Structure 1
């Protein structure tokens, strides 16, 4: 029997699946495992940084986008401005961010990630990202293109189920 790790080639439908549901393929099971281990990695990162999920989400936005105003952060996190203020206070207290004057709005402030916080986060993230990226080196350029196309289509399917839009049959990258 073909296996991937300890998975059978064609596993039974997942628990709770409707009667007659097709078996789940190895790749689909592995994507589920990837999501689960990703959650575990994120939990470890939160512990390393001593933050909760919302704090980590805020830090992710700040590290990816650069400084943001508290209102912008609130919108991105789908929380109230009062909650964003509390969140920023907490992150300031932990040394993850500072409040700095807005360069063009004298009444505004920007929430800025600290260099030490960025370094702490990247100390865990960079090796993991590099190791995941290095896995692709084991595949030919054609195989890498196929993997990329598959993952692009999977992301499109996930997005369609989040937004309610029909999946893009062409699997265009988004």
Structure 2
């Protein structure tokens, strides 16, 4: 039995279709990140980190270095090196909290914001049009579903990070 069959055995067609579309969006997102990387003249990992920093700051919830490390799947040491490159390249600043000097938040520089906005203006036309043209009820339904998927994924990641699965013990060769 193929891996795809094991993962979807007993699933309805629409459930499989949703998982395939989520995979397609994840693949498309990775490709878009490769394009923004070229646009910004940055390594893909740096562009990915800058994207997280920018989106979080734009939404009013700037990331700490530790939060960024978790999001991009890097160690704190590797994240520190990446942040130093972004800072030296004039893409980000680190700001200390005025109430707790141990807390640091990451912010894109105005030039990085402008370059990111330029990329979005050039590349995001179809995506923005799709979101803007969607019915509000459809958007609420999709957002609620995606939130549940994110929570499920986080729970799986936490279980895996805690050593809850031994891949050698759970993988069986069907032959």
**What TM-score results when the alignment is normalised by the length of structure 2?**
0.59
Judging changes above 3 Å, is the alpha-carbon distance between structure 1 residues 151 and 128 closer, same or farther for their aligned structure 2 residues?
Answer: farther
Q: Does 1:43 align with 2:34?
A: yes
Q: Structure 2 regions of 5+ residues with no counterpart?
A: 157-175
Q: Which has the higher helix share?
A: 2
Judging changes above 3 Å, is the alpha-carbon distance between structure 1 residues 161 and 121 closer, same or farther for their aligned structure 2 residues?
Answer: same
Judging changes above 3 Å, is the alpha-carbon distance between structure 1 residues 157 and 102 closer, same or farther for their aligned structure 2 residues?
Answer: closer
CA apart distance, 1:27: 4.5
Matched-pair contact (CA < 8 Å) for 2:54–2:107: yes
- Please identify the structure whose Cα radius of gyration is greater: 1
Q: How well do the aligned residues superpose, as a CA RMSD in angstroms?
A: 3.8
Matched-pair contact (CA < 8 Å) for 1:67–1:112: no
Q: In structure 2, how many angstroms separate the alpha carbons of the residues matched to 1:162 and 1:126?
A: 31
Q: Structure 1 regions of 5+ residues with no counterpart?
A: 1-13, 165-174
Matched-pair contact (CA < 8 Å) for 1:102–1:109: yes
Match of 2:130 in 1: 135
Secondary structure of 1:16's match?
helix
153, 163, 173: which is aligned to 1:161?
Answer: 153
**What TM-score results when the alignment is normalised by the length of structure 1?**
0.59
Judging changes above 3 Å, is the alpha-carbon distance between structure 1 residues 40 and 117 closer, same or farther for their aligned structure 2 residues?
Answer: same
Q: In structure 1, how many angstroms separate the alpha carbons of the residues matched to 2:37 and 2:65?
A: 19
Matched-pair contact (CA < 8 Å) for 1:92–1:98: yes
Q: Which has the higher strand share?
A: 1
